[in-house]
Structure 1
Amino acid sequence: EVCTAVKGPFLHQVCEAGGADIAIYLDPDTALFAPLDPLVAMLQRDDILLTPHLIDPNEDPAAILDNDLSASRTGIFNLGFVAIRTTGEGARFARWWNDRLLAFCYDDIPNGLFVDQRWCDHVPALFDRVKVIRDPGYNVASWNLSKRKVAITRQGEILVNGATLRFWHFTKLGPTGDVMTKRYAGDNFEVYEIWRWYKEAVAAATDPAIPERWWAYGQFDDGAAISKPQRVLYRERADLQTAFPDPFAGGYQAWWKAEGPGRRG
């Protein structure tokens, strides 16, 4: 939630600061394979660029369950990428997304929220000068490999359905990503070669001094882990936020043990 909540504020701050005509956001688990000059050209005509999870419909029932319905739950557009002009509709979008993410960037699919993404289902209805990029070379990932064939030419150029690969989104690095990639890449061996390169690059950049999945805000000051129920209750109750302005100190933790839902009767 916190990692995705920074996107809107980042774009809004770029717009407010001035000095840049366009802003392009890419998730940290993406890699560029070709220049993004075409995006710059698109932003001469449009103010907001989005890439949908899918640009071709699946027919296979398993792929529909894995990919089409997943996009219906988590958002039509993948917000591992967004590009805007820093004026006009782009700036208006950045302020709107900033406000929504600061207030409602939660992983709560039953209530219609999936962090930053579900909000952007509204973008084509709320804003003008929006372009949906349907080029298969953008935002390639496990969720669209069922409809994208990857090839590497003798000259080393990587093509996706015949188009130049611009960037790949290496989502869910690990067992989940491996399973979904193998399920839909099949015998498209170029996909595995690209993944091999990425895993080696990540391993080379990994700092062994940082514990795996470490997060600075995952514990109370005494080292006890903060549970999701403790976190959700605090964010939903203004009285607790007022009573315990520093939730990591001992006050909120003591209250939870004595009076909160976690106490024993």
Structure 2
Amino acid sequence: MGKTVAFTSAAVNYLPKVRKLAASLRKHHPEFEIVLALADERPPGIDFSAEPLDRVIAVDDLPIPDRRRWIYFHTIVELATAIKPFVLCQLLSEPDVDRVLYFDPDMVVFSRLDDLLATLDSSNVVLTPHLTCPERTLEAVRDNEISALKHGVYNLGFLGVRRTPEGERFSRWWSERIYHFCIADVPAGLFTDQRWIDLVPAFFDGVGILKNARFNVATWNLTTRHVAGGLDAGFTVNGEPLGFYHFTGFDSGAHRAMFDKHGAGNPAVAELVAWYTHETRFDGEEPAAKVAWRYGRYSDGTPIPLEHRRLYRDRPDLQAAYPDPFDASGLLRWMTTQGPIEHPERFAKKALG
């Protein structure tokens, strides 16, 4: 059997989180190759070789058509998700790779994942649903089931693909869709890369659905999963070792708010949240965390508002006229002079990028 590659995707400023995920993977699966998909440029002064990573694949390394304009279309979160299928395709094309796993950078692995790998070995693609049990209260239905209907049945914080013809066909299909439609626009039925995966069990064969409660534990499923134990003895979920926990929304405070709402009475989850809080306490002080996203500003340093990105995406004539959208003397000048005249409805309220 060939090797298993585990990768995550982030900009440079998220490297402190990436390090925690990678260290946990290294601890429980030292046989994995660990890769960072970098939705950014490699900045001077950041030594990736000092991290628990085997290699870095930056967005500029990927064969993405019309790459610079395509990058401009996306916010930092959108770009970090948009490059995932392209990295997946590249990894699956390597002859010594048999399995590829994706983990969000705000995850931590707490035990070996041999049962997950066994499921992948009999599948082509494996997915983890946000929810595996119906909620029991209307409040939880609103918070979790309706949220899954809006954002996607499956959580794309994790994905596993085996190098089979069907696994490669899935990867190509996903990259084709994401190339055109990786934006956060819930009213339009899109949530970056995630909503597309709802179609996968219908479009592809050999799709494994990981319903084991120990995988992808997060605030959206705490109401139906019994987390017990602690750091010393180990955490369990419904009596089995915790596989991986998803600390989504941690920096924004959303994780804490939803934990307080749905898991505050659980001392094991409280210990998990306290542990991650302690582990991340100095993240913002690390040099990598202070590196500005390379694609967040025009060439003169002006921040790129979200509305600029959306308007440029919507107008092929602007794309043709300004092939380098980051050039402040070109597109930025048009956006600040002609843009408000042609699109007053878009510029009436400035959106942040």
Q: Deviations over 1:184-206 (max 9, x none)?
A: 11310110111121222223555
**Inter-partner Cα distance in structure 1 for 2:188 and 2:159:** 24
- 3-state SS of 2:304 partner: coil
Cα gap change, 1:49 to 1:119, in 2 (>3 Å): same
- 3-state SS of 1:168 partner: strand
Q: Which residue of 1 aligns with 2:90?
A: 13
Residue type at the aligned position of 1:257: T
Q: Give the one of 152, 160, 170 matched to 1:93.
A: 170
Q: Give the one of 211, 225, 228 matched to 1:148.
A: 225
Q: Is the contact made by 1:135 and 1:163 (CA closer than 8 Å) also made in structure 2?
A: no
Q: Which residue of 2 aligns with 1:236?
A: 314
Q: Is the contact made by 1:8 and 1:94 (CA closer than 8 Å) also made in structure 2?
A: yes
Residue 245 of structure 1: how far off its partner (Å): 1.1
**Inter-partner Cα distance in structure 1 for 2:311 and 2:231:** 57
Cα gap change, 1:45 to 1:61, in 2 (>3 Å): same
Q: Give the one of 206, 215, 219 matched to 2:297.
A: 219
**Inter-partner Cα distance in structure 2 for 1:123 and 1:213:** 36
- 3-state SS of 2:281 partner: helix
- 3-state SS of 2:172 partner: helix
**Inter-partner Cα distance in structure 2 for 1:73 and 1:253:** 34
Deviates more, 1:164-173 or 1:11-20: 11-20
Q: Which residue of 1 aligns with 2:102?
A: 25
Q: What value does the CA root-mean-square deviation take over the aligned residues?
A: 2.0
Q: Give the one of 148, 151, 170 matched to 2:247.
A: 170
Q: Deviations over 1:48-83 (max 9, x none)?
A: 110000000002111111100000000000000000
Aligned-residue sequence identity (percent) comes to 40
Q: Which residue of 1 aligns with 2:160?
A: 83
Residue 258 of structure 1: how far off its partner (Å): 2.1
- 3-state SS of 2:93 partner: helix
- 3-state SS of 1:17 partner: coil
Q: Is the contact made by 1:256 and 1:262 (CA closer than 8 Å) also made in structure 2?
A: no
5+ long unaligned stretches in structure 1 = none
**Inter-partner Cα distance in structure 2 for 1:136 and 1:262:** 54
**Inter-partner Cα distance in structure 2 for 1:150 and 1:262:** 56
Q: Give the one of 311, 319, 324 matched to 1:246.
A: 324
Q: Which residue of 2 aligns with 1:135?
A: 212
Cα gap change, 1:69 to 1:261, in 2 (>3 Å): same
Q: Is the contact made by 1:14 and 1:86 (CA closer than 8 Å) also made in structure 2?
A: no
TM-score normalised by structure 2 residue count: 0.71
Residue 251 of structure 1: how far off its partner (Å): 0.6
Q: Is the contact made by 1:150 and 1:159 (CA closer than 8 Å) also made in structure 2?
A: yes
Deviates more, 1:218-227 or 1:203-212: 203-212
Q: Which residue of 2 aligns with 1:195?
A: 273
TM-score normalised by structure 1 residue count: 0.94
- 3-state SS of 1:52 partner: coil
Q: Deviations over 1:88-112 (max 9, x none)?
A: 2211111111111121111011111
- 3-state SS of 1:203 partner: coil
Q: Is the contact made by 2:183 and 2:191 (CA closer than 8 Å) also made in structure 1?
A: yes
Q: Is the contact made by 1:140 and 1:167 (CA closer than 8 Å) also made in structure 2?
A: yes
1:258 aligns with 2:331: no
Q: Which residue of 2 aligns with 1:71?
A: 148
Cα gap change, 1:109 to 1:262, in 2 (>3 Å): farther
Q: Deviations over 1:27-67 (max 9, x none)?
A: 10100000111122112211111000000000211111110
Tell me which stretches of 4 or more aligned residues in structure 1 moved more than 4 Å: 204-207, 210-213, 262-265
Residue 128 of structure 1: how far off its partner (Å): 0.4
Residue type at the aligned position of 1:120: I
Residue 168 of structure 1: how far off its partner (Å): 0.3
Residue type at the aligned position of 1:173: F
Q: Is the contact made by 1:138 and 1:167 (CA closer than 8 Å) also made in structure 2?
A: yes
Cα gap change, 1:14 to 1:218, in 2 (>3 Å): same
Q: Is the contact made by 2:116 and 2:210 (CA closer than 8 Å) also made in structure 1?
A: no
Residue type at the aligned position of 1:218: G
**Inter-partner Cα distance in structure 2 for 1:264 and 1:80:** 36
- 3-state SS of 1:173 partner: coil
**Inter-partner Cα distance in structure 1 for 2:213 and 2:94:** 33
Cα gap change, 1:108 to 1:155, in 2 (>3 Å): closer
Q: Which residue of 1 aligns with 2:260?
A: 182
